[in-house]
């Protein structure tokens, strides 16, 4: 009998296939004591396992490329964290086996992060995966992972680690469903990059029996268990219609009545550029430069290395707009040379622009490198600061840009509610705003972006979040300046129409989402988008807002 479940759709498309479950988690190693003379040997085993896992993660990243490579390299750094390794060795020195020392050290770190409510708790799934890989290697058992199958299937898991998501074979894994995660989790972002339909935050997903036929709608978040022939035909017809619309929609982003909405790409470096160009991106709306810095947490990359990376991206978009976010360090992206090691809550501490203003030499080098990278290129370079809280922050960043002789527009990211509430004040110092809806939602609702239990508060359809977007867009319009969105909200085609109706002037997203957004925008007039935006803001919940906007755009 057909039944319907609902999670959070995070990657467009429809997948119909039989359920296959992810392998079970690594068992907890026994807590047995070892003689003191074996401690040194066990410490060596632990170090070897850590290095092997780090090397494997890096190798997987090299195979996957793009966004996945950056995520997996960050995981490798997590595995090699010197403080964690020191804790492991201390536990072994007092009698733990290598595997038990690793297990307990990671458990302690995990509890510390989760209990403190830190932003780093958003990476708990990544931390668990690293621990499991090290323990599995030490125990000599296979690492749980994607099941072997000769036939295509829909993957079900409690959560998917980046190392598993990055190397999914779309020819076999038709789509995936997870119990945990949220719309801005690493797995969701990588699913969109792969073009694999995905639904996350579905309670009870693990209870779906192996071999059950399900249909996954990654746009609506609906799961149809044992779908009827009629429902399958309906879903397949809708998927075919969407594919036809994607093929038909080409050129710059615009509404049906010609209102231009530039569609830009989010990139982490040169490896992400080919996909953006192929998708028809009109430029880059978010160049995440921190991935270049994460290659070595001990010191900043040289000016020459930075120039080469920046120029490779700038050259790909002649006459296009490239918006570069300066280093966003701290919280889940700690750097030994930049961020404090003893903050009780890094998410609310010295991160983003605050870190850079405390280390002006790092900011000056980056701005100088950007200036030199753009020399002689016919590109519209724009540079923005992360985590701007008020006008004083904006002024400090603009002053630093001018002192570095940067020939570009200076902007501010709106990720903190105060910046949205006082956007017009911030715009007295900078020339544009860019809304980072992922962090803006996190700070507005006090809801960690990686925790499935609070995913409803991370939903970018939340009316309160739409209100903050509207405040920012209205302020920019009043000042005659631009206000874009570069968070994951822009990748939702229906929400892209609402954002356009709110007055947002550009949309930036993962390359795979650009064709969907382009095709959907082209179906509606600006007036329709504005009416949909008003209806969404008048709602009292994210789900009501989504339904209200859909009703307006479908003419109901």
Q: Look at the block and give the residue holding tokens 């992810």.
A: 22
Pairing, β 482-485 against β 506-509: parallel
Torsion angle, CA of 497/503/508/509, rounded to 10 degrees?
-30
The secondary structure of 296-365, three-state, reads CCCCCCCHHHHHHHHHHHHCCCCCCEEEEECCCCECCECCCCCCCCCCCCHHHCCCCHHHHHHCHHHHHH
> What's the helix, strand, coil split of the chain in %, to 5?
50, 15, 35
Pair 487, 438: CB distance under 8 Å: yes
Q: Which of 401, 483, 486, 529 is catalytic?
A: 486
The DSSP bridge partners found for residue 506 are: 484
Calpha distance 75→309 (Å, rounded) = 22
Token pair, residue 318, equals: 């002649």
Q: Residue 314's CB: how many other CB atoms inside 10 A?
A: 24
Pair 184, 438: CB distance under 8 Å: yes
Does residue 486 have an active-site annotation? yes
Does residue 359 have an active-site annotation? no
Calpha distance 302→290 (Å, rounded) = 14
Which among 37, 522, 31, 48 is positioned nearest to 253, based on CA atoms?
522
Calpha distance 377→33 (Å, rounded) = 64
Which among 132, 146, 136 is positioned nearest to 21, based on CA atoms?
146
Calpha distance 219→14 (Å, rounded) = 8
Main-chain phi, psi angles of 486, to 5 degrees = -120, 10
Calpha distance 280→248 (Å, rounded) = 13
Q: Which of 12, 186, 483, 529 is catalytic?
A: 186
- H helices, E strands: number in the chain: 23, 16
Token pair, residue 330, equals: 């701290």
Sheet strands side by side (includes 173-178): 3-6, 222-225, 213-217, 14-21, 153-157, 173-178, 198-200, 8-11
Pairing, β 14-21 against β 8-11: unpaired
Which among 344, 5, 353 is positioned nearest to 199, based on CA atoms?
5
Which residues are part of the catalytic machinery?
186, 486
């Amino acid at each position: 009998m057909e039944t319907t479940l609902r999670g959070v759709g995070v990657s467009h498309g429809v997948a119909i296939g039989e359920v296959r479950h992810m392998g079970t988690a690594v068992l907890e190693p026994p807590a047995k004591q070892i003689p003191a003379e074996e401690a040194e040997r066990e410490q060596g085993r632990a170090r070897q396992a850590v290095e092997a896992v780090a090397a494997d993660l890096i190798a997987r990243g090299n195979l996957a490329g793009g966004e996945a490579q950056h995520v997996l390299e960050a995981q490798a750094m997590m595995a090699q964290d010197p403080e964690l390794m020191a804790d492991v060795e201390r536990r072994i020195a007092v009698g733990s086996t290598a595997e038990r020392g690793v297990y307990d050290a990671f458990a302690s770190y995990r509890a510390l992060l989760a209990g403190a409510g830190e932003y780093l708790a958003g990476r708990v799934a990544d931390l668990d995966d690293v621990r499991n890989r090290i323990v599995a290697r030490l125990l000599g058992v296979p690492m749980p992972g994607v099941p072997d199958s000769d036939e295509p299937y829909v993957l079900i898991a409690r959560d998917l680690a980046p190392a598993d998501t990055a190397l999914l074979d779309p020819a076999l894994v038709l789509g995936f469903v997870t119990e945990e995660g949220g719309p801005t989790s690493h797995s969701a972002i990588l699913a969109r990059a792969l073009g694999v339909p995905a639904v996350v935050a579905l309670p009870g997903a693990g209870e779906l029996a192996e071999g059950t036929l399900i249909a996954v709608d990654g746009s609506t978040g609906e799961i149809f268990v044992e779908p009827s022939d009629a429902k399958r035909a309906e879903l397949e017809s809708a998927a075919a219609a969407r594919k036809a619309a994607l093929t038909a929609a080409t050129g710059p982003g615009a509404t049906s009545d010609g209102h231009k909405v530039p569609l830009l790409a989010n990139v982490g470096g040169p490896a992400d550029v080919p996909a953006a160009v192929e998708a028809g991106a009109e430029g880059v709306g978010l160049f995440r430069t921190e991935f270049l810095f994460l290659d070595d947490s001990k010191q900043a990359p040289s000016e020459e290395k930075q120039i080469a990376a920046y120029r490779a991206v700038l050259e790909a978009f002649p006459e296009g707009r490239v918006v570069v976010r300066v280093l966003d360090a701290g919280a889940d992206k700690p750097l030994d040379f930049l961020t404090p090691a003893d903050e009780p809550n890094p998410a609310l501490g010295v991160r983003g622009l605050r870190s850079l203003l405390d280390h002006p030499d790092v900011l000056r080098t980056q701005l100088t490198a950007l200036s030199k990278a753009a020399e002689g290129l016919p590109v519209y370079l724009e540079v923005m600061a992360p985590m701007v809280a008020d006008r004083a922050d904006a002024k400090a960043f603009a002053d630093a840009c001018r002192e570095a002789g940067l020939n570009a527009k200076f902007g501010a990211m709106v990720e903190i509610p105060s910046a949205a509430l006082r956007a017009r004040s911030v715009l007295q110092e900078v020339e544009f705003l860019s809304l980072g809806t992922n962090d803006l939602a996190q700070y507005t609702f006090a809801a960690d972006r990686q925790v499935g239990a609070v995913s409803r508060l991370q939903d970018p359809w939340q009316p309160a979040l739409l209100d903050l977007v509207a405040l920012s867009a209205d302020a920019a319009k009043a000042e005659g300046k631009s206000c874009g969105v570069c968070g994951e909200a822009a990748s939702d085609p229906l929400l892209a129409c609402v954002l356009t109706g709110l007055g947002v002037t550009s949309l930036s997203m993962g390359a795979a989402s650009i064709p969907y957004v382009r095709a959907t925008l082209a179906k509606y007039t600006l007036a329709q988008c504005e009416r949909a935006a008003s209806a969404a803001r008048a709602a009292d919940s994210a789900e009501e807002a989504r339904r209200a906007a859909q009703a307006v755009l479908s003419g109901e």
